[in-house]
Amino acid sequence: MRLIGPAMALSTLLLAGCAMPGGRAAESDVARYAEAMQEAESAIDATLGRLAGFERRADHEAEAIAFSAGPASRRRGAGPASAAPRGGAAEATRQLFEVSFEALAAYTQNLAALGREPGAEPVPVDAAALGARAAAALAAYETASGRAIPEPVRGAGLAAIPAVAAAPAGNVGPRALAAERDGQIQAVVALLKAVVGEQTGQGLRGTIRARRDQVAADRTALLESIRNDPRASRMDRYRAYEMVAQARSEDPEQGALREVAAVLDRIAQADDGLARGDAGQVAANTAALQQAVERLWQVQPRLERPEEE
């Protein structure tokens, strides 16, 4: 994703003292929200990137295992030559999140601009282009995963992404804008949660789980095939085992997408507090969002974190 820079710049401006109606409390509300959104964007993008890499490796591994069976084995129906589906669901999900966070960044920057100057010029953004990119990414996800997002979540979410980024109408203040856009942000979050999967076996969670199970079955079948092959030497078996062990060590940790769904819940709650203008609720919900992001990193100890500036 490409929003770390804009989000970080927004946090810096707000923390430097861009006053908002309502004083320092209102100012720090948006600053905390912007900083937490930046952290969430970074962690989710890294997670989805890792899962996309797993799908690409799984594609390659399935092809290699099928090839290793040989034409004679495939004709006999022997050997671990699975017909695993092609990957791409995680990368499509990553693209959908990228567009969604671009819309959220434009929204947050508009909040800051209105706080500095009522009626300020809105952040320039091509909302229609965002909507088109979101629709394309969602269609790619549905094709790759074989899972359709049901209405009305699908339609409401796709309509909300460009609406969140759109220029504020009239001479509204930051609180009014937050209240106006809250329902749209909830719709975006609902769409993203449906794509990720709220429960085990749903959405991308189900797709990755099924792919992980298929990969594990293929690896086990490959090792059994080599173990039982009288032509295989001891060194052949050793090398095969080492290659499978190395591949297993690179698989993504389980539970990451569950934590992504938890982060999305916290984003929705944090924005709701911002819309209500409740400083205490904003502080508590934003802290909870940051804790959810930390848990997302913790379940993936091999995932490299971005350096703090």
Residue 94's pLDDT is: 98
Task: Tell me, yes or no, if the pTM score tops 0.95.
Answer: no
**Per-position pLDDT tens, the chain of length 309:** 544 444 444 443 343 334 344 444 455 777 788 889 999 999 999 999 999 999 999 999 988 888 887 765 554 444 444 444 567 999 999 999 999 999 999 998 888 888 776 667 778 889 999 999 999 999 999 999 999 999 999 999 999 999 999 988 877 888 889 999 999 999 999 999 999 999 989 999 999 999 999 999 999 999 999 999 999 999 999 999 999 999 998 888 889 999 999 999 999 999 888 888 887 888 899 999 999 999 999 999 887 777 654
The residues spanned by each domain of the chain are 4-298
Q: Examine residue 301 and say whether the peptide bond preceding it is cis (omega within 30 degrees of 0).
A: no
Residue 8's pLDDT is: 42
Residue 69's pLDDT is: 76
Residue 208's pLDDT is: 95
Q: Which two tokens stand for residue 148?
A: 């359709």
